């Protein structure tokens, strides 16, 4: 009881959040930075944060505050060039224990505006909320944590749509071409050859399968965890390669069914990449469509040359082609089995 009587009040840090409101107008970008005085005082080396509400102190610290925050916030246009920001007045908001710093950038907003904001890295729990407005309406929200990558807002214009296409089509193609598991799965499906109609059906079924689950997972409707999806992707590769080795002449060709149902699993894998890349909420449909188009371009870049080469070789040296198909299918099985074991062990331990 005696100790309770002699206790003194303690100042608690408010919620470790900062806010950036960005308003896009036809001829300029306007914005406001809202930061807590405790965070600013720490960065400025001021012992008592409340002194920042004093107009004289605030005026004396203005240049340092502006330089500090300007170094932590960046806006980048569609060409990757930094957009110069002009900082205006600082206004105290004592009820919020915060300061508001106005800024602007002269000139029409770019079709794709990339934002990066890590204001107070001294606090690993600190987060920055970014709200982007167009025509007075909230269009996009970003949340930046300690290790968050830059995020891009696409304008609600035709130029913005073109920027989405220019970003997500190459991203989809790139992901397929650098993903050895997806490449081996597609190659495993076409190693045994077939008519042009049969190969087209296989590719179409794979497209249909991964498009459905990509949309479900990327929009947050349904998304299984990575520890389940990644090993299953490896298992689909094993099954496709094993089917090639075990299927006898005259038996039913199950590759279109494999492409459809296993494509559902691969779609979840594509979604992991797409969500990390960042989905523009204002152009969600265009982003999904263009990413899928990119995936198809990547698939065709694999399927067409491989199918043409195998068809050419099959006419001239059918026995050599058969050996290549068997050796390739065996390689597919071994690679898929290795990835399956590796992912089960690594994802399970993680």
pLDDT digits (tens, 9 = 90+) for 119-163: 998 898 899 999 999 988 888 888 898 888 898 899 887 888 888
The closest of 215, 340, 180, 182 to 285, measured between CA atoms, is 215
Together in a domain, 209 and 330: yes
Residue 30's domain comprises 14-155
Region 252-270: what's the mean pLDDT? 93
3-state secondary structure of 91: strand
Domain presence at residue 315: yes
Chosen domain end from 123, 155, 187: 155
Whether 23 has a pLDDT exceeding 90, the answer reads yes
Together in a domain, 185 and 167: yes
Region 251-278: what's the mean pLDDT? 87
Query: How confident is residue 9, by pLDDT bands cut at 50, 70 and 90?
Result: very low
User: Who has greater pLDDT, 349 or 197?
Assistant: 197
The closest of 39, 21, 38 to 30, measured between CA atoms, is 21
β-strand partners of 76: 82, 114
**DSSP assignment letter at 296:** H
The predicted pLDDT at position 14 comes to 53
Average model confidence (pLDDT) for the chain? Answer: 88
Domain presence at residue 183: yes
Together in a domain, 93 and 197: no
Domain presence at residue 7: no
Residue 244 buriedness (CB in 10 A; 0-12 / 13-18 / 19+): buried
The closest of 336, 305, 312 to 242, measured between CA atoms, is 336
Cα four-point dihedral sign 279, 282, 286, 289: positive
The closest of 281, 272, 292 to 211, measured between CA atoms, is 292
68: enclosing H helix or E strand: helix 55-70
Query: How confident is residue 338, by pLDDT bands cut at 50, 70 and 90?
Result: very high
Chosen domain end from 138, 155, 172: 155
| Number of domains, the chain | 2
Domain presence at residue 5: no
Query: How confident is residue 258, by pLDDT bands cut at 50, 70 and 90?
Result: very high
Residue 108: C-alpha distances to residues 79, 104, 272, 332 (Å): 14, 11, 33, 52
Domain presence at residue 259: yes
Domain presence at residue 208: yes
Together in a domain, 80 and 211: no
The DSSP result for 145-197, as a single string, is -TTPPPEEEE-SSHHHHHHHHHHHHHHHHHHHHH-HHHHHHHHHHHTT---HH
Tell me the Cα Rg of the chain.
27
Whether 24 has a pLDDT exceeding 70, the answer reads yes
Residue 194: C-alpha distances to residues 98, 190, 205, 310 (Å): 68, 8, 15, 10
The predicted pLDDT at position 255 comes to 94
Together in a domain, 180 and 138: no
Together in a domain, 255 and 302: yes
Together in a domain, 209 and 183: yes
Tokens 């008519």 appear where? 195
The predicted pLDDT at position 167 comes to 86
Region 215-231: what's the mean pLDDT? 89
3-state secondary structure of 44: helix
Query: How confident is residue 276, by pLDDT bands cut at 50, 70 and 90?
Result: low
Chosen domain end from 155, 178, 211: 155
3-state secondary structure of 135: coil
Together in a domain, 141 and 201: no
Region 80-102: what's the mean pLDDT? 92
Cα four-point dihedral sign 46, 47, 52, 58: negative
Whether 349 has a pLDDT exceeding 60, the answer reads no
Q: CA 313, CA 324: separation in Å to the nearest integer?
A: 10
Together in a domain, 143 and 164: no
Together in a domain, 236 and 336: yes
Q: CA 303, CA 321: separation in Å to the nearest integer?
A: 16
Domain presence at residue 313: yes
Together in a domain, 202 and 338: yes
Together in a domain, 232 and 124: no
């Amino acid at each position: 009881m005696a100790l309770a009587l002699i206790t003194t009040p303690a100042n608690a840090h408010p919620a470790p959040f900062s806010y950036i409101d960005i308003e896009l107008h036809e001829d300029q970008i306007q914005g406001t930075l809202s930061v807590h005085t405790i965070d600013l005082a720490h960065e400025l080396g001021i012992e008592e944060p409340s002194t920042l509400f004093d107009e004289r102190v605030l005026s004396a610290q203005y240049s340092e505050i502006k330089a500090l925050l300007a170094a932590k916030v960046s806006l980048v246009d569609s060409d990757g060039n930094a957009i110069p920001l002009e900082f205006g007045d600082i206004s105290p908001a004592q009820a919020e224990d915060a300061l508001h710093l106005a800024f602007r950038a002269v000139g029409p907003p770019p079709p794709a505006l990339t934002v990066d904001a890590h204001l107070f890295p001294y606090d690993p729990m600190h987060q920055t909320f970014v709200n982007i407005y167009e025509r007075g309406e909230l269009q996009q929200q970003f949340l930046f944590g300690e290790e968050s990558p830059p995020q891009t807002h696409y304008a609600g214009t035709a130029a913005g749509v073109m920027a989405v296409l220019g970003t997500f089509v190459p991203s989809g193609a790139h992901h397929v071409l650098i993903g050895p598991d997806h490449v081996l799965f597609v190659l495993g499906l076409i190693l045994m050859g077939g008519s042009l109609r049969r190969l087209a059906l296989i590719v179409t079924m794979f497209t249909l399968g991964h498009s459905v689950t990509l949309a479900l997972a990327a929009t947050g409707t349904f998304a299984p965890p990575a520890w389940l999806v990644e090993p299953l992707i490896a298992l689909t590769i094993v099954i496709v390669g094993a089917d090639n080795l075990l299927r006898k002449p005259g038996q039913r060709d199950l590759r279109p069914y494999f492409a459809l149902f296993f494509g559902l699993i691969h779609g979840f894998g594509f979604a992991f990449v797409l969500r990390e890349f960042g989905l523009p909420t204002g152009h969600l449909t265009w982003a999904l469509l263009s990413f899928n188009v990119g995936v198809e371009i990547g698939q065709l870049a694999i399927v067409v040359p491989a199918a043409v080469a195998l068809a050419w070789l099959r006419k001239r040296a059918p026995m050599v082609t058969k050996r290549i198909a068997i050796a390739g299918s065996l390689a597919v099985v071994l690679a898929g089995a290795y990835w399956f074991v590796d992912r089960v062990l690594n994802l399970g331990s993680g």
